């Protein structure tokens, strides 16, 4: 438990390092949360700063997810932690996610966690990540609403794990499905303002053309 608690605190602190905020400051554009959707995430950086800044944010926030799970795996190895590694993995990924959503360094106002979850998924369940990515691209590119792609990916995550664990083990690994459902539900909950805007037709679209975002 002590190792788990230490891992979660470290992951929370790592998650709290928000690359949308850092990169936007580096580009001398002030606080990203004062612009566009007010969200400290890649989409809003793309919308307000530009493509290079968005790419840097993507790399940073995605790496946080990867590193938090790799870190917990290292702890498990070093301290010979017994028991169900899956729960351990997800709890630390969850802590990193909470750091990203409610960062201690930035007044507890961060992003929506899609890239952090994606980074964690790359290690936890790469095939589920691929399913989510395909679903995301399908919806984001055709509708040009990045938020809709994210929401669909949130729904896809537990469904993909349901199918993939059944395929892999011959029976569904419910712990993994439930834990990924929690992460998916959190992603959808974080998009509640986007859902309202999507329903009222006021959500902003992103441009995939050569010139930067709308």
175 token code pair:
């712990």
Write the DSSP assignment of 15-81 as a string of letters: HH--HHHHHHHHTT---GGGSTT---SHHHHHHHT-HHHHHHHHHHHHHHHHHHHHHHHHHHHHTT-
Binding marks (x or -) toward ligand G3P, 52..91, rule CB under 6 A? Answer: ----------------------------------------
Q: Is 39 in the site for ligand G3P (CB under 6 A)?
A: yes
Burial 126-146 (b: 16+ CB within 10 A, else e): eebbebbeebbeebbeebbbb
Which stretch in 23-31, 36-44, 57-65, 173-181 sits in contact with ligand G3P by CB under 6 A?
36-44
Report how far residue 214's alpha carbon sits from residue 205's, in angstroms, rounded to the nearest whole number.
7
81 token code pair:
């932690």
Q: Is 41 in the site for ligand G3P (CB under 6 A)?
A: yes
Tell me, by CB under 6 A, how many residues bind ligand G3P. Answer: 12
- 8 Å CB contact between 147 and 198: yes
Q: Is 112 in the site for ligand G3P (CB under 6 A)?
A: yes
Looking at residue 40, the DSSP 8-state letter turns out to be -
Which stretch in 18-26, 38-46, 58-66, 75-83 sits in contact with ligand G3P by CB under 6 A?
38-46
For the segment 124-153, give every residue that binds ligand G3P (CB under 6 A): 146-147, 150
Q: Is 33 in the site for ligand G3P (CB under 6 A)?
A: no
46 token code pair:
């793309």
Which is closer to ligand G3P, CB of 4 or CB of 33?
Answer: 33
Report how far residue 118's alpha carbon sits from residue 143's, in angstroms, rounded to the nearest whole number.
21
Report how far residue 159's alpha carbon sits from residue 140's, in angstroms, rounded to the nearest whole number.
19
Binding marks (x or -) toward ligand G3P, 162..201, rule CB under 6 A? Answer: --------------------------------x-------
Q: In the chain, how long is the greatest CA-to-CA distance?
A: 53
Q: Is 37 in the site for ligand G3P (CB under 6 A)?
A: yes
Q: How far is the CB of 21 from ligand G3P (least distance, A)?
A: 13
Which is closer to ligand G3P, CB of 16 or CB of 150?
Answer: 150
Interface residues with ligand G3P (CB under 6 A) are 36-37, 39, 41, 43-44, 112, 114, 146-147, 150, 194
């Amino acid at each position: 438990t002590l190792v788990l608690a230490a891992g979660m605190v470290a992951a929370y602190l790592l998650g709290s390092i928000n690359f949308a905020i850092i990169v936007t400051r580096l580009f001398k554009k002030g606080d990203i949360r004062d612009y566009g959707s007010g969200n400290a995430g890649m989409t809003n950086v793309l919308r307000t700063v530009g493509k290079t800044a968005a790419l840097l944010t993507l790399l940073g926030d995605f790496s946080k997810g990867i590193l938090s799970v790799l870190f917990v795996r290292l702890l498990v190895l070093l301290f010979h932690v017994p028991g169900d590694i899956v729960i351990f993995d997800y709890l630390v990924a969850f802590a990193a996610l909470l750091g990203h959503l409610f960062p201690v360094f930035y007044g507890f106002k961060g992003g929506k966690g899609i890239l952090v979850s994606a980074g964690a998924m790359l290690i936890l369940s790469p095939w589920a990540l691929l399913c989510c990515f395909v679903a995301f691209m399908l919806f984001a590119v055709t509708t040009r609403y990045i938020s809709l792609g994210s929401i669909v990916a949130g729904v896809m995550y537990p469904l993909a794990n349901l199918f993939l664990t059944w395929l892999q083990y011959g029976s569904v690994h419910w712990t993994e499905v439930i834990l990924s459902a929690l992460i998916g539900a959190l992603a959808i909950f974080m998009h509640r303002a986007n859902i309202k805007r999507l329903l009222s037709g006021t959500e902003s679209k992103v441009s995939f053309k050569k010139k930067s975002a709308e």
